[in-house]
Amino acid sequence: MRYVPHKYQEHAANYILTHEKAAVFLECGLGKTVITLTALLSLCLDQFVIRKVLIIAPLRVARDTWPAEIEKWDHLKCLTYSVVVGSEKERMVALMKTADLYIINRENLDWLVNKSGASLDFDMVVIDELSSFKSGTTRRFKSLLKLRPYLKRIVGLTGTPASNNLLDLWAEYRVLDLGERLGRYITNYRNTYFQPDKRSRDVIFSYKPLPGVEEKIYERISDMTISMKSCDYLKLPECIYNTVTVHMDQDETKVYEEFRKEMVTSIEGKEIDAANAAVLTGKLLQMANGAIYDDDGNYVRIHDRKLDALEDLIEAANGKSILVAYAFKHDLERIKERFEVREIKTSQDIQDWNAGKIPVGLVHPASAGHGLNLQSGGSTLVWFGLTWSLELYMQTCKRLDRQGQKNTVVIHHIVTAGTMDERVLTALQKKDVVQTALIDAVKAVLS
């Protein structure tokens, strides 16, 4: 296919070309993969300043999305690539191939750097989903930091740089600029820009920004950061958000409230308890979805309210494909028991979905939240169970609400009244304030 870039795509590609260290915050649907590949083509085969590029991405994105984009566009056909996934033997064979680009899933980065014994003579790294490096304690972070001093160039791509709070930015920029802008140590960054928020005596549970420091943080990173929103550059079909409220009956509500207050209850002769508030929160979400796991790992049914609501939504779709996001394994099992559905996990599943062959597709936000192009197969997403993660929430919604979508996108949230569901929605909205502020602060202004 012939690539005719939008003006914003040219601008973003040129930004990568002119910045040795770049944080590129492109909202889902703006085509960050083809933008980056176009820049890599110039760096590798036109300017000859880069010889060997390592691309780090979520597993399915590394396996499916990046190769598919290279094969899709005519101008990229001269780029050679090797996909470093699979068994250790398959990964070693892939590393031995001569290529311009080596594409690896982030879970294998530690293996590559510390265990493979392969030559690490990469002179550029592209991080697809920079937000997955927001924790400075993970192996992937430490492995990349070990590789970082030997790189000429590095690019971090994401649409959700601060999905929870601005503390996430420290680790992301630490691997990009080795601490030049936000400091080398998280303690100093935290002490400079934040203050304790929720705490219990000497134990601090969370931090919040000091008054007025958001602008200072944005200013510190602005020289290597570009940000774009799809609503600024694309004329996408309308996206409608809808809440479908379901109600438990008196007995079901009584069980829920007893467990919420006492952290212990008995259901069908099974005693269910919660060791602490964090566990309680998760189990209350399970109950809101209609079931809960006992101490033996078996689930106990509480209600089918959400299943009934999902059935109504499937019937109302009148044959149109529906994508359903679930939260817990018992959600998946109960949905499968009641409806004829198919999980979207493999490359073939993705192809069949986009070909309209899957009436009801099931995805989990943690595995389908990044990089999958599902907009051709449908325009309706149903959140059967919500997630606390703004990043996963936004990314999952953008599987349908993205460039190439031809129909109005409808996103339904099935929410059980009076339960933790309502608090999750509220929390997601509050987190989006921080996210929007960051995106707007470094938004690119095109000439």
pLDDT tens over the chain, length 447 residues:
899 998 999 999 999 999 999 999 987 778 899 999 999 999 999 999 999 999 999 888 898 889 989 998 999 999 999 999 999 999 999 999 999 999 999 999 999 999 999 999 999 999 998 989 999 999 999 999 999 999 999 999 998 787 678 999 999 999 999 999 999 999 999 999 999 888 777 788 888 899 989 899 999 999 999 998 877 877 778 888 888 999 999 999 998 998 888 877 767 666 677 767 778 888 899 999 999 988 778 889 999 999 999 999 998 887 889 999 999 999 999 999 999 999 998 889 999 999 999 999 999 998 875 667 888 899 999 999 999 888 889 889 988 888 888 888 889 999 999 999 999 988 888 877 777 766 776 776 654
- Is residue 390 within 8 Å of 355, Cβ to Cβ? no
Domain ranges for the chain, please list them.
Answer: 7-232+436-441, 235-246+304-416, 249-302
Q: What are 55's strand-pairing partners? A: 103, 126
Inter-residue long-range contacts of 42-45, CB under 8 Å, 24+ positions, other chains counted: 42/13, 42/17, 43/17, 43/124, 43/153, 44/79, 44/100, 45/78, 45/79, 45/100
pLDDT at 188: 95
Residue 72 CA from chain centroid, whole number: 23
Pinpoint the alpha helices (H) of 213-338. 213-221, 230-233, 250-262, 277-289, 305-317, 329-338
Q: Dihedrals φ, ψ of 84, to 5°?
A: -95, 75
Q: Hey, what CATH topology would domain 235-246+304-416 get?
A: Rossmann fold (3.40.50)
Closest CA to 411 of 242, 250, 185: 242
Query: Per the structure block, which two tokens stand in for 95?
Result: 């590393």
Please state, in angstroms and rounded to a whole number, the distance separating the CA atoms of residues 147 and 106.
Answer: 14
pLDDT at 198: 81
The CB density around residue 67, as the number of other CB atoms within 10 Å, is: 16
Question: Which residue's entry shows tokens 């597993």?
Answer: 59
Q: Is 317 exposed, middle or buried (0-12, 13-18, 19+ CB in 10 A)?
A: middle
pLDDT at 371: 61
- Is residue 291 within 8 Å of 360, Cβ to Cβ? no
**Can you give the pTM of this predicted structure?**
0.77
Please state, in angstroms and rounded to a whole number, the distance separating the CA atoms of residues 63 and 140.
Answer: 18
Question: Which residue's entry shows tokens 């000859």?
Answer: 48
Closest CA to 230 of 436, 377, 392, 403: 403
Q: Hey, what CATH topology would domain 7-232+436-441 get?
A: Rossmann fold (3.40.50)
Fill in the DSSP letter of residue 238: P
| Element housing 362 (H / E) | strand 360-363
Closest CA to 265 of 4, 274, 115: 274
Beta strands 239-246 and 225-228, pairing class? unpaired
Please state, in angstroms and rounded to a whole number, the distance separating the CA atoms of residues 146 and 95.
Answer: 19
Please state, in angstroms and rounded to a whole number, the distance separating the CA atoms of residues 426 and 430.
Answer: 6
| Count, residues in the chain | 447
pLDDT at 390: 87
Please state, in angstroms and rounded to a whole number, the distance separating the CA atoms of residues 259 and 284.
Answer: 8
Fold match flag (7-232+436-441 vs 235-246+304-416) = yes
- Is residue 12 within 8 Å of 40, Cβ to Cβ? no
Query: Per the structure block, which two tokens stand in for 273?
Result: 């308890």
**Measured CA distances, 31 to 53, 55, 81, 147 (Å):** 19, 16, 19, 27
- Is residue 69 within 8 Å of 33, Cβ to Cβ? yes
C-alpha torsion angle, residues 273, 366, 174, 165 (rounded to 10)? -60
Please state, in angstroms and rounded to a whole number, the distance separating the CA atoms of residues 366 and 332.
Answer: 14
